[in-house]
């Protein structure tokens, strides 16, 4: 079981390897929300997302696996880059299994960290089978994107650091909101906040096109997504038994928002806070704005989980104006 002590140790273990990301406020968004919001900017984190915290904590933790033979994972997203960078920091190989349909820009980013990529069919079954073969052939240690205690403890360092920064300003949060996909970030957040800031109400935010966490939370048993339909590509995964158990114990609620609300929140963050965030990161703000009554006049922490987004349309239009 992951404990607050594990998160505290992860803070110490990963300190030299991750950024302390800034806390940002935005008067214009506060006015719209009718609350005082504090944004934790993991879009400024290494690899552009909080994922490096969990990957680095797993890579640096003592364990039975022989890390000298490298690190492995399957992912087409931020976790792939995180494991690739963690391996490079350790000076060992990274073996990343990616669906052959992954966007070229993501493949290039992972290659940019020196990882070895094995392509698979874009199915969960082939991802897992391919990963198993890679791990068997190479002896690399598998780091799961969220169903791993070391990863959960690592992601918990976001909230741990956030609460420390708020304490320096004399602020205690009434509520803390972050996005939920597989549940690694929110599990770590819940464990850290429960210990460091008891009384702060905890909310997860989820796209309604991938609402397994909301349905699970309300039914009391783990549900899965039959199909997913959301722009928020980081939030399409299902909870695991492990993350569901943690979240069902600690959360006050799981709030769902649709993609129009997510894009609306993303636009606010760009236009008013001047931050580049990905749709998954905007989901938490969207949930706050869609539930004004629940957060009115409160101090609310909002985790901006990452900033890796394809801005091609914008830059193409700018280049067309030349």
Interface with a second copy (CB under 8 A): 22, 24, 27, 41, 43-44, 46, 48, 231, 259-260, 263, 266-267, 270-271, 273-277, 279, 307, 311, 313-319, 321-322
Q: Please say which residue, 6 or 42, places its beta carbon nearer to a second copy.
A: 42
Q: Please say which residue, 241 or 312, places its beta carbon nearer to a second copy.
A: 312
Distance CA 58, CA 276 (A): 28
Q: How far is the CB of 321 from a second copy (least distance, A)?
A: 6
Q: Please say which residue, 39 or 146, places its beta carbon nearer to a second copy.
A: 39
Taking CA atoms, 312 is separated from 109, 230, 270, in Å, by: 15, 19, 15
The β-bridge relationship of strands 23-24 and 141-142 is: unpaired
Q: Please say which residue, 190 or 287, places its beta carbon nearer to a second copy.
A: 287
Q: Please say which residue, 132 or 259, places its beta carbon nearer to a second copy.
A: 259
Q: How far is the CB of 14 from a second copy (least distance, A)?
A: 17
Query: Are residues 153 and 184 in contact, defined by beta-carbon separation less than 8 angstroms?
Result: no
Distance CA 203, CA 129 (A): 35
Angle at 222 between CA 218 and CA 227, to 5 degrees: 95
Q: Angle, to 10 degrees, between the axis of helix 78-90 and the axis of helix 51-60?
A: 40
| Cβ neighbours, 10 Å, residue 101 | 10
Distance CA 19, CA 53 (A): 9
Q: How far is the CB of 278 from a second copy (least distance, A)?
A: 10
Q: Please say which residue, 231 or 302, places its beta carbon nearer to a second copy.
A: 231
Distance CA 217, CA 22 (A): 31
Three-state secondary structure call for residue 37: strand
């Amino acid at each position: 079981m992951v404990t607050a002590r594990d998160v505290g140790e992860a803070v110490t273990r990963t300190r030299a390897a991750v950024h302390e990301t800034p806390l940002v406020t935005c008067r214009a968004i506060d006015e719209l929300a009718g609350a005082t919001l504090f944004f934790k900017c993991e879009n400024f984190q290494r690899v552009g997302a909080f994922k490096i915290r969990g990957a680095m904590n797993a890579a640096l933790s003592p364990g039975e696996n022989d890390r000298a033979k490298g690190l492995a994972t399957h992912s087409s997203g931020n976790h792939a880059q995180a494991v690739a960078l963690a391996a490079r920091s350790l000076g060992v190989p990274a073996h990343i299994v990616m669906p052959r349909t992954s966007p070229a820009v993501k493949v290039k980013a992972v290659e940019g960290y020196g990882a070895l990529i094995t392509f698979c069919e874009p199915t969960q079954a082939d991802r897992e089978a391919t990963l198993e073969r890679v791990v068997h052939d190479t002896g690399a240690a598998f780091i799961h994107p969220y169903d791993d205690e070391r990863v959960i403890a690592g992601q918990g360092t976001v909230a741990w650091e956030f609460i420390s920064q708020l304490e320096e300003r004399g602020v205690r949060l009434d509520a803390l909101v972050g996005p939920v996909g597989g549940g690694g970030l929110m599990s770590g957040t819940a464990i850290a906040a429960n210990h460091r800031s008891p009384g702060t109400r905890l909310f997860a935010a989820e796209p309604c096109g991938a609402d397994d966490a909301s349905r699970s939370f309300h039914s009391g048993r783990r549900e899965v997504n039959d199909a997913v339909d959301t722009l928020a590509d980081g939030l399409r995964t299902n909870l695991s038994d492990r993350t569901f158990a943690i979240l069902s114990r600690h959360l006050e609620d799981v709030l769902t928002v649709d993609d129009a609300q997510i894009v609306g929140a993303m636009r606010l963050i760009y236009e008013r806070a001047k931050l580049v965030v990905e749709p998954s990161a905007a989901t938490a703000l969207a949930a706050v704005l869609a539930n004004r009554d629940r957060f009115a006049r409160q101090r609310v922490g909002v985790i901006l989980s990452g900033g890796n987004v394809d801005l091609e349309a914008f830059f193409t239009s700018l280049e067309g104006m030349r």
